[in-house]
A and B are shown apart, each in its own frame.
Chain A
Amino acid sequence: MKTVPTPLRDIAKVVRSKNAGPFEITLDIIFKSKEDFEAVKQSGVITKELISELYNVPTQAIITFGFFDLVNAVKITLPRARVQGGVGETDMHAAQQHVPLQEIRVPWPVA
């Protein structure tokens, strides 16, 4: 099957970021179907190492990283770069920190 590198924003149902309390940020990638979820998981593209690079967080500091079958989702929780709402805050709710994730490209069958 012919595949092309396709960004997650064209594959996933939800790609989002949000505070999980004032000291953590959590990122969810939720897929439309079990098949899509499995295909992305099998591609091996989404790894702790990639998250570490995209979010400038050492792999050992990653709080949660996993593919969760029951909800067809990848969940990633990281320490916040700064405490929520303090001086220098750029995103109070951490609601716009998902963009690097949705640009991740995985090999995807051409429709």
Chain B
Amino acid sequence: MASSNDEIRILTPSGMLGYGFPLDHFRLGLAQKPHAITIDSGSTDSGPQKLGLGEMTCARDAYMKDLEVLLEAQREARIPLLISSAGGDGSNLHVDAFRNMIAEISRKKGWRFRLAKIYADIDKGLIARELKAGRVEPLGPVPPLAPGDIEAATVIVAQMGAEPFLKALDEGADGPGGVDVIVAGRAYDPAPTSAMAIRAGFDPALAWHMGKIMECGALCAEPVGRNIMGYLRRDHFEVEPLNPAERCTTMSVAAHTLYEKTHPFLLAGPGGTLDLSNCKYEQVTDRRVRVSGSRFDPGKRYTIKLEGARVAGWRSIFIAGARDPIFIGQVDAILDRVIAGTRAYFSELPEESYRIIPHIYGKNGVMGDLEPVKVPAHELCIILEVEAPTQALATAICGKARTSLLHAPYPGRIATAGNIASPFTPLEVPLGQACEFNVYHLMTVDSPTALFPVRYEEIS
């Protein structure tokens, strides 16, 4: 369905596919005849293990539940459904996983969809060549990329801009406008919403800004919620949460761009920087806000953000309580001796091949060295984290440290039967592989679409 010349309406049911959203409010949105449904699925926020190990952010059942609702709405309303950053990391693996979930739902329901898949894994050889050519740079406080980092990363994805979505919408399975559903790999979160608006001929600056607000669902509302509707017009846009109990205020919408962002007014993305420093926010109704004055600077070069993580090793932990004030008063010194003793015991292992890191809750477990309170609590939870080349070794080191801590002598000790209280078995807990982000860099590209191949498919 084409948008009218003066308004495009976008419905975003949630800031994250798989978290669920209230269906009654979603229906209120559909009743307003939106021109597209957009929903993001991506984030680096829950950690590097998704990229490092191919894990998805949510359980498969959670995705299936949300997808079924969205696919049904797409069928009824005959509007495009755009999903970005499949599975959390937006790797090819998860684009295909989403495709398979959509196929499974379609088979069960007897539905048909014209699907476009947009892939975002970037060839490591290409990145290595571009690095050599000086076209890869750190993004923020990140070490420069080394060829070894490229090799070590399990997979490297890049955030696509709006262009690959525009391409998929325009080419389609049956020509222009022929796509029902787009499942995209890693994408800049606002890209699906802004692509719809840019395609309808609206101001890219407003399109990006509206996308930026809507990618989090109704997180810009008070109280924060899920379903949100965006109305983009020639010289402004408006946003309104679909839950009647929530409202957008000029302050909640303006302040939303602070959230998880480096700078409040300058938001860099693929293809340019959104500048919100001269925006005007107006209260249209008590629940709806109008925004104008957004600007977009395309910049001199088109850059895309690369993301990758490596497997660092295997991790095991133990969890122990401490209650004795004589012990608590010396906990750092006792742990230092225990760790030194453990390292001496494993002297055959290269010292830098494994790591032992204590987390002491009740003392500084959350803030570490930055903890301003220097007096520990009356009881502590000690978690000892060990990372080593194998799970067996991590657990063995962890076990040695735990038994040493249990029986370690210390000045003034009168509780001679044991120093720590262990709540669980196994006493040493294997945590599996530990991952670390090791690629977070900008790469200059000649084409905004060439690295993001689109594949079309009939699902029935």
Residues of chain A having any CB pair with chain B under 8 Å: 14, 18-24, 26, 28, 30, 54-56, 61, 63-64, 66, 68, 70-73, 75, 77, 79-81, 83-88, 90-93, 96-97, 99-100, 103
Contacts and interface: CB of A to CB of B under 8 A. Distances in A.
Nearest to A20: B262
B23 interface: no
B163 interface: no
Contact of B367 (A61, A64, A90): A90
B240 interface: no
Contact of B313 (A20, A83, A87, A100): A87
Given A85-B437, A86-B312, A87-B355, A23 B367 contact: no
Interface in B323-382: 355, 357, 359, 365-370, 372
B260 A18 contact: yes
Given A71-B257, A77-B263, A90-B359, 6 more contacts: A20-B260, A22-B44, A26-B262, A55-B370, A87-B434, A88-B355
B46 interface: yes
Given A77-B262, A86-B312, A88-B357, A100 B48 contact: no
A106 to B, nearest CB: 17
B140 A86 contact: no
B246 interface: no
B315 A87 contact: yes
Contacts of B438: 83
Given A21-B140, A72-B251, A26 B260 contact: yes
B412 interface: no
A75 B263 contact: yes
Contact of B440 (A21, A64, A93): A21
B254 to A, nearest CB: 5
B421 interface: no
A63 B268 CA distance: 14
A105 to B, nearest CB: 13
Interface of B: 44-49, 139-142, 251, 254-255, 257-265, 277, 279, 312-313, 315, 355, 357, 359, 365-370, 372, 385, 387, 434-438, 440
Contact of B365 (A23, A64, A90, A100): A90
Contact of B46 (A61, A92, A100): A92
B370 A54 contact: yes
A63 to B, nearest CB: 6
Nearest to B435: A85
Those 7 A-B pairs whose CB atoms lie nearest each other, nearest first:
A79-B141, A85-B47, A86-B436, A22-B437, A87-B387, A88-B357, A85-B48
Indicate the member of B254, B258, B357 with the most A CB atoms within 10 Å. Answer: B258
A68 to B, nearest CB: 5
A87 B369 contact: no
B261 A26 contact: yes
B264 A75 contact: yes
B162 to A, nearest CB: 20
A68 B366 CA distance: 29
**Residue among A71, A86, A103 with max Cβ neighbours from chain B (10 Å):** A71
A63 B434 contact: no
B370 A100 contact: yes
B260 A71 contact: no
A56 B370 contact: yes
Contacts of B435: 85-86
Contact of A100 (B261, B312, B372): B372
B262 A68 contact: no
A80 B45 CA distance: 13
Contact of A24 (B140, B372, B387, B434): B140
Given A70-B279, A84-B44, A88-B355, A96 B367 contact: yes
B368 A81 contact: yes
Which among A72, A80, A84, A103 has the highest number of chain B CB atoms within 10 Å?
A84
Contacts of A55: 370
B258 A75 contact: yes
Nearest to B305: A21
Nearest to B44: A22
A71 B436 contact: no
A21 B1 CA distance: 36
Nearest to B365: A90
Nearest to A92: B47
A93 B44 CA distance: 10
B368 A73 contact: no
